[in-house]
Amino acid sequence: MEREMIIVLDFGGQYNQLIARRVRECNVYCEVHPYTIPLEELKAKNPKGIIFTGGPNSVYGENSPQCNPEVYKLGIPILGLCYGAQLLAHQLGGKVETAPVSEYGSTEVELAAGTSVLFKDCAGEQTASGNVKSIFWMSHTDYISEVPEGFVVTGFTPVCPVAAMENAEKKFYACQFHPEVVHSREGIKVLAAFVKDVCGCRGDWKMDAFVETKIEEIREKVGSGRVLCALSGGVDSSVAAVLLSKAVGKQLTCVFVDHGLLRKDEGDEVEAVFGPDGPYDLNFIRVNAQQRFYDKLEGVEDPERKRKIIGEEFIRVFEEEAKKIGAVDFLVQGTIYPDVIESGLGTSAVIKSHHNVGGLPDHVDFKEIIEPLRMLFKDEVRKAGLELGIPEHLVFRQPFPGPGLGIRIIGAVTPEKVKIVQEADAIYREEVKNFGLDREINQYFAALSNMRSVGVMGDFRTYDYAIVLRAVLTSDFMTAEAAHLPWELLDKVTTRIVNEVKGVSRVLYDCTQKPPATVEFE
């Protein structure tokens, strides 16, 4: 049976892969391609539907990205979102101009749920005209002021006369809002209606299909080449390593660098799983480089500099190991999509560089880098891990950044500080598990602040550090909210950390959402 596919054409929006992820949630395979993809290549993929993404440009601006007009003649359903909606209107004869009032954030939109297939399943406040009001995420300074011939308006707000439009006969649809973000309450229903009702997709694609396809792609790409994998022991690099192991076996060498910035006992745990006594068909090398990294980080306080230093040193270690084992053709990394978007992609801003993305030095002594998980989100990576047969305790291991505790220590890194945060983090994770919340919280960890304050232990004055606890709830790590942990849990963790971890006199809890904060505390 031929695999059904939806193509997302990217016009520079930050949510391009989030759209693809939402389509995959509808059990339909989806790929993202630049809007410049040649028409013949697009046709060869035989998509059941096409989605235009948002973007930062104005469609009427000089050098703004434009779609090949021939796309509209292919007879393939098209859904334009935000910039994509404006582009569809602009290229088909409508009018787009600067809006008198911009709209940003959660906005109430009135939808023609009774007449438009796109909104038929949307719930919300009913209006006298049979429309439905619901909250969607807006982000625009331009708007569609006139719809093209053959289109009807199917959604509006008090200041946006065309929040949605469609030409049902030609199967062209457009939404000024972003149905793909979690803030759009009925957004997944809108995308599901397009994918299944408009495009006619069966919705029978599963993650096992991704795993099988990716293994075949890797096998074809690598051929008889040798592969070096940057293995950290976290879920991302572990899934990447097992994918490569399934594809090329002993052609893969996994180098695990113990940079002295890992969680408590983690180095030994990783070696036990992936080492020679583990279940996987690969070559495993452990490099104990703790002092090397400590020396490089001495006196460095800026988190971005720390990320770059650690990332570059990682690559240098890999290069050295590659020379020891002979010619290596490919480097594998466990980069996932939130890493990519935070590091800056296309027109998006750099939030923080990830060593898998932004920390690479200019010279990398490999033919090519393979990033098999680059377009997946964390929960999708976990699903892939389960499909690969990786044990659940590894698949659901707490996310851990490549630079490790180096960025969970505010200020300069020292072995003493690493020891403090390792012990505090181990206590925190143990108690969260004891409370049965380890699967309920998407990420939680302890960080070491650079704040020292006066305390009293026994009859003596102390002047020690404050540990900061972080716990967030999120579905995709693009946005997150602080978890409301039980006071009994926080109280027990605080008591244990202060009593058992030398050098700590206070414990704080970070209540900040993402945005404005990031998930990591750095």
Rounded to whole angstroms, the Cα distance separating 267 from 261 reads 10
Quickly list DSSP for 86-110.
HHHHHHTT-EEEEEEEEEEEEEEEE
The catalytic residue among 30, 160, 166, 178 is 178
422 sits in which H/E element: helix 415-434
SS3 297: helix
355 is catalytic: no
User: Do 471 and 485 meet the contact criterion of CB atoms below 8 Å apart?
Assistant: yes
Angle between helices 303-325 and 290-297 (to 10 degrees): 140
DSSP-derived secondary structure letter, 193: I
Structure tokens at 104: 């940003």
**Encoded amino acid at 420, one letter:** I
For the beta carbon of residue 431, count every other beta carbon within 10 angstroms. Answer: 20
Residues β-bridged to residue 472: 443, 482
The DSSP bridge partners found for residue 514 are 480
For this structure, is 178 an active site residue? yes
Strands (E), 436-480: 443-457, 460-473
User: Which two tokens mark 282?
Assistant: 């690969």
Please tell me the distance from the alpha carbon of residue 283 to that of residue 280, in angstroms, as a whole number.
Answer: 9
Q: Do the strands 5-10 and 49-52 form a parallel or antiparallel pair, or are they unpaired? A: parallel
Half-sphere exposure of 159 (CA within 13 A, CB side): 13
Burial class (CB in 10 A: 0-12, 13-18, 19+), 463: exposed
Instruction: State the catalytic residue, choosing from 4, 110, 180, 380.
Output: 180
Measuring CA to CA, which residue among 135, 117, 116, 32 is closest to residue 345? 32
Euclidean distance between CA atoms 132 and 108, whole angstroms: 10
254 given a catalytic annotation:
no
Q: Are 367 and 330 in contact (CB under 8 A)?
A: yes
CB of 435 within 8 A of CB of 489? yes
- Dist CA 516 CA 514 (whole Å): 5
Residue type, 217: E
DSSP 194: I
Catalytic residue among 67, 82, 201, 229: 82
**Active centre residues (catalytic):** 82, 178, 180
